[in-house]
Amino acid sequence: MSARSETPWPSLTGARPARLLSLDFLRGLTIAFMILVNNNGDEVHAYWPLKHAAWNGFTPTDLVFPTFLFLVGISTVFSTASRLAQGASRQSLLMHVARRAVILYLLGLVVNSFPFFNLHTMRFYGVLPRIAICYLVVASLYLVSPGWRSKVALVVGALATYWVLMRFVPVPGYGVPTHQIPLLDRDANLTAWLDRQIFSASHLYEHTRDPEGLLSTIPALGTALLGLLTGIWLRTQRALSEKITGIAVAGLSGVLLGGVWNAWFPINKKLWTSSFVLFAGGLSLLLLALSLFLVDYPEKRSGKGQAGWLKPFFIFGTNAIAAYVFSELLAAAISSIPVHPGVNLQQAIFHAIQGIIPNVAFASLIYSVGFVAVCWLFVAVLYRRKIFIKI
């Protein structure tokens, strides 16, 4: 569908959009929780909400990455409008999108490989590479055709296509799902099989599969597109209360639809199943509605800012990628520094905490909170110096 039959392009060239503090708050909350769950002191004995579901199922940790990707979609709409308001052309914006995607992908390789950069074990998938690919596709689509109808069609198409591929296409060497093999078998699924054809085991996060593999990028694009659609909705002229209500209704619908589809296509973060996209996307929408109500709606209602108590998360949110990269590099660094034979610095710090707090799960949480605090201090210094790292 052409841009002319949807929302006309001139609608994107209006005044620079006002900044929604709720987006920075939710982004900061998401990145803080991402750092927390990525750095458990003890992965095995950490509290269950701070660990990913082992396979099918859902935990609060499984919401982190899709929410961040969802926010990337929203930010794409606002950043595009802001740059257009400053006089940028579509061609220059397309070049900016491509350049930013390449930088994000390369940063992902650095994060995955630090500090040894061994080509034999380098992981080419990952969090930042997936963000880079989804951002490149979604932002380019939005620049070419900014209307919402085609994006809805693309979400439906992406989720339906992935379900058909995972449910009906035979997995070479294994058979047809639900007939010769179970649906979403850990290794005998099309996503894992395809990744093994592209990379050897040493390049895959779980050796026989990768949670950010190639085929599961299709539904991940659906997550980013849900964010893009939400950003388009937020840029309309409707009252903020109406926007919040619409987002909340969409969120409840996503949770219900994802829960229903779970019976036939299980919710699975590691495979980024279509039901997972709807369920996690619905929860992300509900979190956004709550953030808008708590942060931006009081300002509209009373004319007074309500952001003071949000500042720690706001600081994280204004330098989210920098915070994530710093956290990953720090974790890799302290895990590679030997302290005693067979014990690295990360383990030594955790053992010291456990010497004070015998409960392993609680000690693991204390370590995680301390790690988040160190990362916050890093971005707080950037914030105080008015350094906002934009890619």
The beta strands (E) that lie in the chain are given as 338-340, 343-344
Q: What is the dihedral of CA 241, 243, 249, 251, to 10 degrees?
A: -120
3-state secondary structure 109-168: HHHHHCCCCCCCCCCCCCHHHHHHHHHHHHHHHHHHCCCCHHHHHHHHHHHHHHHHHHHH
CB atoms within 10 A of CB 346: 21
User: Residue 191 and residue 213: Cα distance in Å, rounded?
Assistant: 7
pLDDT recorded at residue 389 = 86
User: Residue 170 and residue 287: Cα distance in Å, rounded?
Assistant: 38
CB atoms within 10 A of CB 369: 12
Is the CB of residue 230 less than 8 Å from the CB of residue 74? Answer: yes
**pLDDT classification of 20: cutoffs 50, 70, 90:** confident
pLDDT recorded at residue 15 = 54
Is the CB of residue 113 less than 8 Å from the CB of residue 124? Answer: no
pLDDT recorded at residue 4 = 38
> 134 CB contacts (<8 Å, ≥6 apart)?
69, 72, 217, 220, 221, 223, 224
Whether pLDDT at 6 is above 90 = no
In this structure, what token pair is assigned to residue 135? 């951002």
Q: Encode pLDDT of 289-301 as tens digits.
A: 999 999 887 755 5
